[in-house]
Structure formats: C-alpha cells, structure tokens
Amino acid sequence: MYKFFINDKPLILTSSNESLKELDEYKQIHITKELNLMDFVREMEEPQAFGLALICEDPAETLHELKANFTSIHAGGGIVFNQAGEILMMRRLGKWDLPKGKIDPGETTEEGAIREVEEECGLSQLRIIRFFDNTYHTYKLQGHRFLKVTHWYKMETTFKGELVPQLEENITEVCYKNLNNIDLNSFDTYESIRQLLIDVKSKSN
C-alpha cells in the first residue's frame, strides 16, 4: 500500500488483498487501464475532496505510473528517539512536525536525513537504526506538479545538550514527547505526519 498526500488528504494505492479498516472512510475505485490516474489527482486537488482509495492489481506499478506525471524531489527525515524512549518533535508554522528536508547534491539520503535533524533541531550524536518508510506528498508551483518523496530513518541520540530550533526555517519549538501519551487522533499535526506516527507507534509496541 502507498499513500499520496494531496493538500494533506490521502490518495491511497492498494490491492484488493489488503483489507484495511481505514479504507472504509474513503471512496474506493477499482483501477482499470481505461482510467486516467491524473483525473484522480485533479479530483483530490479540489477543496471539497476528502480521501480516495484506488484498488490496483499492482500498487507498485501504479505508483510508478503516477510518479511519471510529477517532478520528483527527494528529502530525508528523522524519527529520533532519546535514551528515555521519547520522540523528537518540533513546531513549524504552528503545527507539530518531524525534522526533514531536501537532499543536497552529492549526499546520500542517510546523510541528508542526519544533516536536516542536526540543522533543524540543534542536536548531534545521531545514529541511524534502520530505514523506516517513504512518504509522498504533492504540491503545485507555478502550474507545475511536484512530488516530494521523504525517506524516513529511525534514529537514536545520546545528545543531552539544549535543543535549538532553526528559526529561519519557521521552527519555533523543539522538544521530546512520549509517543504513548499523545492522542494521535487529535494531535495538531499534518495528516501525513499523523499517519507516520501511527505506524511508528504500532511498530514500537
């Protein structure tokens, strides 16, 4: 299963073999070769759109076909835990978020993810535990469609110094939170980050 976030609403690519409870929340359409995938993207770009699940024979192939319609931008992000098992969070533009940013030329995604965490949150002594997942969200700029693919890594840190938000990136607060004490249904964050945190929480228990 893959999730595209368009205006912070999910366009889900899944197979008929996956029976996910959350799919019941969205309109479901079975994909055939006669259907234009970009018609669904345009539908999701409308303000009244809520969410859409596309049932595909091969979600990976459908993802590949869909990506061909966008200019892809790759980013790296960190799901960072301290020694107390708390997760690193930051407030950007009034919402809670996770550190992430574009990969610089010549960087690997791992290097970029660590650099972004260090720059945005003012900490060091980071170690990647493993790759966690990719997230996808789209946006339009000057009439052109972009797809931001963020490569997320689970990390740990032994850093005990003061956390410093990167103000020039509109980050106003950085702190650690106990994920088990957060009600993710009402947490003030972006829907793509909410879904990512739900996955992190479920795989940590």
Q: Is the pLDDT of residue 20 over 70?
A: no
Confidence at 205, pLDDT banded by 50, 70, 90: low
> CA distances (Å), 151 to each of 32, 86, 92, 106, 111, in order?
30, 21, 19, 16, 11
Helices (H), the chain: 37-44, 59-67, 109-121, 191-204
Interacting residues of 182 by C-beta distance below 8 A, sequence separation 6+: 197
**Cβ of 36: how many Cβ atoms within 10 Å?**
9
**Residues 76-116 pLDDT 10s:** 999 999 999 999 999 999 999 999 999 999 999 999 999 99
* pTM for this prediction: 0.91
- The yes-or-no verdict on residue 120 having pLDDT over 90 is yes
The per-residue pLDDT for 1 is 87
Amino acid 32: pLDDT = 86
Q: Which pLDDT score, from 0 to 100, does residue 93 have?
A: 94
Q: Among 11, 12, 17, which Cα is nearest to 1's? A: 12
What domains are defined for the chain? Answer: 2-67 (no CATH), 73-204 (3.90.79.10)
The lowest-confidence range among 4-13, 82-91, 117-126 is: 4-13
The whole-number average pLDDT for the span 152-156 is: 98
> SS3 of 40, please?
helix
User: What does the mean pLDDT of the chain come to?
Assistant: 92
pLDDT tens by residue, 22-74: 667 788 899 888 889 999 999 999 989 889 999 999 999 999 999 999 999 99
* Confidence tier at 142 by pLDDT (50, 70, 90): confident
pLDDT on residue 202: 87
As a whole number of angstroms, the distance between CA 151 and CA 155 comes to 13
